[in-house]
Amino acid sequence: MRVPFLDLRLHHEPLQTELQTAIQEVIESGAFAGGPFVARFEEDFADFCQTRFAVGVGSGTEALWLTLLAYGIGTGDEVITVPSTFMATVEAISFCGAQPVFVDIDERTYTLDPQLLERAITARTKAIIPVHLFGQMADMDPIVEIADRYGLRVIEDACQAHGAEYKGRKAGSIGGAGCYSFYPGKNLGALGEAGAVVTNDQSLYGKIQTLRDHGQRAKYRHSCIGWNARMDGIQGAVLRVKLRTLARGNDSRRAHARRYGQHLGGREDLIAPTEAAYARHVYHVYAVRVKGRDQLLSALAERGIFCGIHYPIPIHLQEAYRGLGLGRGSFPVAERCADEFLSLPMFPELTPEQIETVIRELESQLVSAKSLHESVV
Ligand SMILES: Cc1ncc(COP(=O)(O)O)c(C=O)c1O
């Protein structure tokens, strides 16, 4: 049996008619760039995230970048985040002229380790971006407590955490702002690129609305220098349809994670993901940790089981950030995890049979790897 890493066609099949009707409405109205379809999605998404406001933008990267700009962060400022993330988190910091400063991750949740946070703060620090990696939120209480003590902004990177919770509070609703990506493969994905910022802060909301639309408050009246970062009308309409299926999709992901965990949880040669006591994990990615990850990935692919790696190189070791002068050994947990992470197939439509197949093949590869190792030793 072939098990894909992700199957978006299967995900969209039952929504075909609703999606086509929604797209047709946009075509008939002509509201393609921003407009009422985006505004309606913004209302629904703010409700979903338990925030007062949401602003639709072109991508998660723009959501992060515009939030930093709206907070006035730029040249000479430092922003703290983790090296264990997708490039965009750090790129957004650099793109507004600020300096990224890294803090290592917690070995159990793979999110910013609050115990290491305070020592990274300097007189130049302006903000902290905790990343809710793989669908599990960072430990927000101590992060917010430290941020408040130093007068720092907290911007949640919720790009992998649609519907995730921290002590019953939704991702994006705890910091000053939460940034979302609706890249197609996300738990809530558009049919193209899109993103959003959610916030309870009316002033921040107004600034991001202006920045995403060339600094315009009224047509051809530019109060500041902005950008074209509007969400497409079609994506707003599509996301509004798909938002209704998000909670159900997340429940399925959680059920799949339980099934994986029942078999893989007790093994000595593999570390399965854990859900922190404070968290509701939504398993955007189900990443286990194993030694010899690359060989295992290829062996599984040969047997029709397609896995992923999120992410093979932590950001401080990327060529683009060589200038920071942070070599191997700077963030040992993030580095170890990058060497060991293996993302198993995870999407709502996975069947119990497919999950059993992944488990069986994975277990059998681990057993052969062990006997090979023993015969060599
Ligand atoms: C943690 C994280 N931050 C930021 C982004 C950027 O989002 P986008 O691809 O929509 O620009 C992503 C998307 O993959 C992400 O996973």
Query: What are the tokens at 349?
Result: 């439509």
Residues in the chain: 377
Calculate the average pLDDT of the chain: 97
pLDDT 10s digits, 53-91: 999 999 999 999 999 999 999 999 999 999 999 999 999
pLDDT at 292: 96
Above 90 in pLDDT, residue 10?
Answer: yes
pLDDT at 371: 76
Number of other CB atoms surrounding residue 150 within 10 Å: 14
Tell which atom from ligand 1 comes closest to the C-alpha of 133.
Answer: 1
pLDDT at 368: 86
Determine if ligand 1 sits within 6 Å of the CB of residue 88.
yes
Helix (H, G, I), strand (E, B) or coil at 367: helix
336 pLDDT band, cuts 50/70/90, is: very high
pLDDT 10s digits, 198-214: 999 999 999 999 999 99
374 pLDDT band, cuts 50/70/90, is: confident
Whole-model pTM above 0.95?
A: yes
Q: What is the DSSP string of 18-44?
A: HHHHHHHHHHHHT--BSSHHHHHHHHH
Question: 181 alpha carbon to ligand 1 midpoint, in Å?
Answer: 5
358 pLDDT band, cuts 50/70/90, is: very high
Q: Looking at this protein, which amino acid is placed at residue 235?
A: Q
Question: 194 alpha carbon to ligand 1 midpoint, in Å?
Answer: 10
pLDDT at 375: 73
Candidate of 6, 62, 183 to mutate for ligand 1, largest count of ligand atoms within 8 Å of Cβ: 183
Q: What is the DSSP string of 239-276?
A: HHHHHTTHHHHHHHHHHHHHHHHHHHTT-SS-B-----
Strand pairing of 53-57 and 78-81? Answer: unpaired
Rounded Cα distance between 206 and 162, Å, is 23
Above 80 in pLDDT, residue 39?
Answer: yes
Helix (H, G, I), strand (E, B) or coil at 127: strand
Residue of the nearest CA to atom 7 in ligand 1? Answer: 60
Closest CA to 160 of 266, 67, 253, 245: 253
pLDDT 10s digits, 200-256: 999 999 999 999 999 998 999 999 999 999 999 999 999 999 999 999 999 999 999
pLDDT 10s digits, 134-186: 999 999 999 999 999 999 999 999 999 999 999 999 999 999 999 999 999 99
pLDDT 10s digits, 12-36: 999 999 999 999 999 999 999 999 9
Above 70 in pLDDT, residue 376?
Answer: no
Determine if ligand 1 sits within 6 Å of the CB of residue 159.
yes
Strands (E), 249-347: 279-280, 286-289, 341-344
Strand pairing of 125-128 and 279-280? Answer: unpaired
pLDDT 10s digits, 284-319: 999 999 999 999 999 999 999 999 999 999 999 999
pLDDT at 377: 60
Candidate of 181, 232, 309 to mutate for ligand 1, largest count of ligand atoms within 8 Å of Cβ: 181
Segment 91-97 shows an average pLDDT of 98
